[in-house]
Amino acid sequence: MITEVATVNQIGNEWVDVTSEIKSTCSSCQQVDNCGSGQVAKAFPQKSLSLRLSTRNFSSALSIGDKVKIAIPQDKLLASLARVYGLPLLFLITFSGIGQTTIAAQSHELFSIAFGLFGGYLGYRLAQRLENKQNNQQSLTPYLVEKIEAGVVQQIQL
């Protein structure tokens, strides 16, 4: 489970709007004061991400300004990443190999490259179709895990 701390902004009947700051890797290093990239990262404001989450399966009472922990299932996220990045790459390499052994041996190598790009495009379209399925979209939706009480020190897991 991949977790993040967010702040409650708005509350509805069965939903809550939360905002989480997007963390830059340049601002978390110990060398941030001595690094040029860290200095540039300090100059720009922190970006934030707003989400509307369901509170149907959440038992704690929330109020505006509360800190909550939100999560995404790690296995679903990794499977999605494998489809999005892996399928186009796999199809590109496979079609390039097929094109090299069949087409390029008889004609120009550009046909082999075009065949590989076509395979990459097919892999992209397949990944897009798999990612747009409704059950896949729901499994990647963040959800509320717990309310973080004020004054409680949270242990960070790396």
Q: Where are the domains of the chain?
A: 2-73+141-148, 76-136
Containing H/E element for 19? strand 15-21
Q: How far apart are CA 12 and CA 37, in angstroms?
A: 41
State how far the Cα of 68 lies from the Cα of 18, in Å rounded to an integer.
8
pLDDT digits (tens, 9 = 90+) for 108-149: 788 888 999 999 999 999 999 998 886 777 788 888 888 887
Task: Please write the tens of the pLDDT for every residue from 62-72.
Answer: 888 888 898 88
In sign, the C-alpha dihedral spanning 28, 42, 20, 80 is: negative
Domain covering 2-73+141-148, topology: OB fold (Dihydrolipoamide Acetyltransferase, E2P) (2.40.50)
Model confidence, pTM: 0.67
